[in-house]
Amino acid sequence: MDANLIKGHLDLILLSILEGEAKYGLEISKEAQDRTAGYFDLKVGSLYPALHRLEQAGLLSGEFRPAPKGGSLVKYYWLTDEGKVDLDRRRNEFTTFTRTVESLWR
């Protein structure tokens, strides 16, 4: 996997994972791996700065809650209404881009 491909699409990946319900960092990372058969292995060094950036942009909201198995608090993130709109826009752009690139292979 070319790390630049993930970097260029990390926001789309994160917004897609958070579409269903609130999740904290480790859940997000595990879900990315599970849903892509291990193809996406999101590292802490890129995951948390991206989540923070998306939250600052108003696309995510977050709050600290107890961890599922007890212990210290973890920050859960979820899509805002603006984040849902942005996710739809990004998906449409990605679909158009993918189809256009694929047209070059024929």
Any idea what the CATH number is for the domain that residue 93 is in? 1.10.10.10
Q: pLDDT for 42-79, tens place per residue?
A: 888 889 999 999 999 999 999 999 988 888 899 999 99
Locate tokens 């979820």: which residue?
78
- The SS3 assignment for 106 reads coil
- The SS3 assignment for 27 reads helix
* Closest CA relative to residue 61, chosen from 44, 47, 75: 75
Q: Give the number of domains in the chain.
A: 1
DSSP 8-state assignment for residue 39: S
pTM for the predicted model, two decimal places: 0.90
| Helical axes 3-17 vs 25-35, angle rounded to 10° | 110
> Residue 71 sits in which domain range?
3-103
Q: pLDDT for 76-101, tens place per residue?
A: 999 999 999 999 999 999 999 999 99
